[in-house]
Structure 1
Amino acid sequence: MDGVSGPSTQSQQPYDKSRVLDVKPLRTLVPMFPNPPQAPPFVSSSPFGPFPAGFTPFYPFSMGPPGSGGQQDGSAFASPANAVPLRSFHMGAHFSNGDTGSSMDAFGDGGVNTASGGKKRKSSRVPKTAEQKKADRKARAAAAAAAGETRKPNLAHIVGLPQPQREDGNRELVIYILMKFDGVRRRLNQLEDSKEASTGLIKRADLKSGNILLTTGFRTNSKKRLGGPPGVDIGDIFFFRMEMCVVGLHAPSMAGIDYMVVKNDSESEPLAVSIVSSGGYDDDAEDADVLVYTGQGGGNYNNRGTEASDQKLERGNLALERSARRGNQIRVIRGIRDMNNPALKIYVYDGLYTIQDSWIDKSKSGANLFKYRMVRLPGQPPAFGTWQSILKWKESVSSRPGLILPDITSGAESLPVALVNDLDNEKGPPYFNYLRSVKYTKSLNLSEPTYGCSCHNSCAAGDHNCTCTRKNGGDFPYTTNGVLVGRKPLVYECGPSCPCLPTCKNRVSQSSLKVRLEVFKTRDRGWGLRTWDAIRSGVFICEFAGEVLDKAKYDSEESSDISDYVFDTSRVYDKFKWNYDPPLVGEDDAGDSNEEYDIPTPLVISAKESGNISRFMNHSCSPNIFWQPTMYEQDGESLIHIAFFAMRHIAPMSELTYDYGISQSNNRRKRCLCGSAKCKGYFG
């Protein structure tokens, strides 16, 4: 492959590396705070303020509205003059991640500091209801956001992580922190989607969420190290660069090279810790095991029309050169275009590499660029190579090894679901009728008929005239890109009686498949379901389709066979925390994040004879999918559906699993083979 095997073959004079490689390493990376005569002296202040007059906080707590010097546009972020990046002093000039519908304004969603020095007087006013208090909090947050104010979060009910855990992570802690990050991000998205909180600022809730977690101590692997960070697995995916910061995979939120200074005899030198190859430079990133990485700096990258200039052997570039000499392991994160949304990127941790060679090449504009040929260490599980294989399967499903059927749904779903067995000669599961939704054989009178909304376009977040929004407690349950904000006792969606458009964002669980899946043969648990696509936390997967059974009749059966392919809401399910913590976004913890389900009557659904792909999802005591009851009007009656959502980010070729729960009948319990560290040994 061009550019992989060695230096460029362009006609030019041989470049003498000794002229630039004999550079003394950086002895100190102490940030410098200039004090010009017209500026106030450097002060020590809380990141949340208040700040002295004329004082500008440093990045990332200095993000202001467009034109303030704190940001440029949705894809580029420029810190204020002389600003010092958080935990990094080698920040690159481009920011290569984005989530349409997030925010780049100041920390948090805001809130007005109403504290006063006077004594409180007794009031004879009637106490406000919980709903009125919630509306007041939203109004204050919207007013503060419009005024550009920030509010320090009330962390009285949030317990920080002990210092040893922050320094050294583990798998459970990494998952916990990533779920904490995304819970806050989804809530900030929900607030910013609201009409009440519309400020006209560029939305980057991922940056604000990362700043909140870093400031409040919800992080791990904060101490830099060479090699892989504990708890972060090869193949893990990240939709935002700030996610990599909070788990210690890659500390800079913008720069592509992360490094640390180590002592070597009598002097210190920088060594590269990790790099992000995100397409901002002319990298050769097609090979699964070899990456030709371009150094940072210079004025010719990204084709932004800047004047061409040579890259300098300093900071990150110098660290890579020193690592080439020392041969230390370097973490590589590859940025890949989202298969479902080419405007976005997904970052995959591709494992450990070493630098095999380095040279100086010429860019198209004539500037000198540093090139580093990085080779992946053998014996690591596949990561980037998996993505390459899936791209080939999507182009031609017949190229999938072990393919039995290209589409087990026979066209019932909008996306085909392949049936695959690359283990043995079994040709597929027993026959079943394919249903896309739950089938009620008789009216169960689950609830009284309800009236739909009166919206004539799409229901909008923050529109309190929308009946369906009011049913959900005044908050729109989904973000504008269809992600569930939080688990609720019951999610009310728009139904057939609602005049809003079929594309309304409040009909998420009624849509067909949005991610490519396959049914595959497992080694010891029969057939399973896994994904070809990267799935974001909170994304709808499918609903549990099947035939609703009579609860009393089902309970009278003692055989364990009748419980095969059955979903029973009356089972005991492990409790878990998925929603955001209100204090982290400056809200009062008033029970708004209730995650206890509220189903009017137990619901039993059997997919043994008729069902959809959800019937193939296996049980796990550490699942990556959870179920959420939803309700919408159908055929003149409001009926309950069981929708499945991603509990956390799910990498391609990961099996989709959920908690089957524990029934009260011992005869229906089965041995669990999930292999989880938290395995209870049985389920059902």
Structure 2
Amino acid sequence: MMIRSYSQDLSGGLENVPVLIANSVPKEAFSNFQYVLESVQGPGCDIDPSAVTLPGCSCRVQSCLPDSCPCLRFGQTYDSKGHLNQQQEDGGFSRPVFECNALCACSESCQNRVVQKGVEVRLGVFSTKDRGLGVEALERLPCGRFVCEYAGEIIGSHEARRRQLSQTPLDMNYIIALQEHSGGDRVTQTFVDPVTIGNVGRFINHSCKPNLVMVPIRVHSLLPRLALFANRDIERYEELTFDYAGGQNSNTDTRKWDKAPTGTLTGADVDKIPLKKVCHCGASNCTGFLPLDMSVLH
């Protein structure tokens, strides 16, 4: 186990707890990066993520209860410690999750306010051996603990496609495409790109056997916040990872892309398709390649 020395705060004081940068990481690694607490509106996104558009509850209590609060109509999301309840159906988190919001009458200490509070655990950004930058836990994280969002610009599908095709084969792709299946054939897509505007979630690497799970959480609007929770107990100094393909969530899929959908790209666009990138996660079940798929852009 390597214990690194840390100093500077990547968030610049924005987070409740400093997001530390290892002293070995060169300063220029963040020269074109703007830190934000939550996702912002980008090209092609018709909704301002910061706007409060969902109605609030009228629960004038310290903490809301599922039998009386409309925000908890799909069940209690968090336990008394603020940890994600392991309520799963068919192996995934399939229930919609709504936190109490700015219009709710309940207190700020309500049990149903977790993701909106931001990072409350000690995290460190460091240089990995073969996967660029990574993030490690600087404290022990129990199963179900909220770690951070995957925040960035929320963009439309055409903008996501344009950005993907403008990349060179050597460029890293950070765009997450969230697909939520809400019954029948209805699918809701959300595209988040943190390459220049984002938070600590941008630096979390993929693993085919991750210790984090991504869950869409809605707070102030119908735009989901991509929240990352510990899916098991995580030890101090352990690297944090999540599955870029969203393999642990039965009603949602997350994708980064590296191949074009059949018959949708022609001419000059074909030459811009990035090659598959080798996965270096080291897990026993590693698939060999990062789970990138441009078919979500159909």
What is the correspondence of 1:550-629 to structure 2 with a 5 Å cutoff?
Answer: 550-556=156-162, 557-560=164-167, 564-570=173-179, 598=182, 601-629=188-216
Are 1:421 and 1:521, in contact at CA under 8 Å, matched by a contact in 2? no
Are 1:488 and 1:628, in contact at CA under 8 Å, matched by a contact in 2? no
What is the correspondence of 1:19-38 to structure 2 with a 5 Å cutoff?
Answer: none
Are 1:489 and 1:597, in contact at CA under 8 Å, matched by a contact in 2? no
Tell me the equivalent position of 1:451. Answer: 55
After superposition, the C-alpha distances for 1:207-258 in whole angstroms (9 at most, x for unaligned) are: xxxxxxxxxxxxxxxxxxxxxxxxxxxxxxxxxxxxxxxxxxxxxxxxxxxx
Are 2:146 and 2:227, in contact at CA under 8 Å, matched by a contact in 1? yes
What is the correspondence of 1:256-655 to structure 2 with a 5 Å cutoff?
Answer: 401=5, 403=6, 405-422=7-24, 426-431=26-31, 432-441=33-42, 442-444=45-47, 449-462=53-66, 464-470=67-73, 472=74, 475-486=75-86, 487-556=93-162, 557-560=164-167, 564-570=173-179, 598=182, 601-633=188-220, 637-655=221-239
After superposition, the C-alpha distances for 1:162-217 in whole angstroms (9 at most, x for unaligned) are: xxxxxxxxxxxxxxxxxxxxxxxxxxxxxxxxxxxxxxxxxxxxxxxxxxxxxxxx
What is the correspondence of 1:32-431 to structure 2 with a 5 Å cutoff?
Answer: 401=5, 403=6, 405-422=7-24, 426-431=26-31
SS of equivalent residue, structure 2 residue 30: coil
Change (3 A) 1:614 1:420: same
Aligned counterparts of 2:173 and 2:257: Cα–Cα separation in 1:
16
Give the aligned residue type for 2:288.
G
Task: Please identify runs of 4+ aligned residues in structure 1 that moved more than 6 A.
Answer: none
Give the aligned residue type for 1:419.
I
After superposition, the C-alpha distances for 1:570-621 in whole angstroms (9 at most, x for unaligned) are: 4xxxxxxxxxxxxxxxxxxxxxxxxx86495211111111111111101111
TM-score (norm 1): 0.34
Give the aligned residue type for 1:682.
F
Tell me the equivalent position of 1:226. Answer: none
**Count of equivalent residues:** 251
After superposition, the C-alpha distances for 1:81-124 in whole angstroms (9 at most, x for unaligned) are: xxxxxxxxxxxxxxxxxxxxxxxxxxxxxxxxxxxxxxxxxxxx
Aligned counterparts of 1:409 and 1:450: Cα–Cα separation in 2:
28
After superposition, the C-alpha distances for 1:455-474 in whole angstroms (9 at most, x for unaligned) are: 11233334x2211111x2xx
Aligned counterparts of 1:550 and 1:469: Cα–Cα separation in 2:
29
Aligned counterparts of 2:23 and 2:120: Cα–Cα separation in 1:
23
Are 2:136 and 2:238, in contact at CA under 8 Å, matched by a contact in 1? yes
Give the aligned residue type for 1:466.
C
Tell me the equivalent position of 2:289. Answer: 682
Q: Offset of 1:677 from its aligned partner?
A: 1.1
Q: Which runs of 5+ in 2 are unaligned?
A: 87-92, 246-254, 260-272, 293-298
Q: Offset of 1:415 from its aligned partner?
A: 1.0
Change (3 A) 1:653 1:550: same
Are 2:22 and 2:126, in contact at CA under 8 Å, matched by a contact in 1? yes
Aligned counterparts of 2:226 and 2:156: Cα–Cα separation in 1:
17
Aligned counterparts of 2:48 and 2:109: Cα–Cα separation in 1:
28
SS of equivalent residue, structure 1 residue 537: coil
TM-score (norm 2): 0.76
Are 2:160 and 2:175, in contact at CA under 8 Å, matched by a contact in 1? no
Aligned counterparts of 1:437 and 1:554: Cα–Cα separation in 2:
19
Confirm or deny that 1:673 pairs with 2:274: no
Tell me the equivalent position of 2:262. Answer: none
Q: Which runs of 5+ in 1 are unaligned?
A: 1-381, 390-399, 571-595
After superposition, the C-alpha distances for 1:510-554 in whole angstroms (9 at most, x for unaligned) are: 112221111001111111000111001111001111111111232
Aligned counterparts of 1:409 and 1:449: Cα–Cα separation in 2:
27
Larger displacement relative to structure 2 (596-605 or 537-546): 596-605
Change (3 A) 1:597 1:656: farther
Are 2:173 and 2:256, in contact at CA under 8 Å, matched by a contact in 1? no
Q: Offset of 1:440 from its aligned partner?
A: 2.2
Tell me the equivalent position of 2:265. Answer: none
Aligned counterparts of 1:609 and 1:655: Cα–Cα separation in 2:
23
Give the aligned residue type for 1:681.
G
Greater RCO structure (CA 8 Å; 6+ sep): 2
Give the aligned residue type for 1:608.
V
Change (3 A) 1:602 1:563: farther
SS of equivalent residue, structure 1 residue 602: strand
Are 1:419 and 1:428, in contact at CA under 8 Å, matched by a contact in 2? no
Change (3 A) 1:531 1:663: closer
Which has the larger share of helix? Answer: 1
Tell me the equivalent position of 1:93. Answer: none
Aligned counterparts of 1:469 and 1:630: Cα–Cα separation in 2:
12
After superposition, the C-alpha distances for 1:383-435 in whole angstroms (9 at most, x for unaligned) are: xxx8xx7xxxxxxxxxx63x4x431211111111221154xx74451321110
Give the aligned residue type for 1:529.
V
Are 1:490 and 1:628, in contact at CA under 8 Å, matched by a contact in 2? no
SS of equivalent residue, structure 1 residue 468: helix
Which one has the largest radius of gyration? 1
Are 1:597 and 1:629, in contact at CA under 8 Å, matched by a contact in 2? no
Are 1:435 and 1:546, in contact at CA under 8 Å, matched by a contact in 2? yes
Change (3 A) 1:566 1:421: farther
Aligned counterparts of 1:456 and 1:665: Cα–Cα separation in 2:
49
SS of equivalent residue, structure 2 residue 202: helix
After superposition, the C-alpha distances for 1:2-27 in whole angstroms (9 at most, x for unaligned) are: xxxxxxxxxxxxxxxxxxxxxxxxxx
Q: What is the aligned-residue RMSD (CA, Å)?
A: 2.6
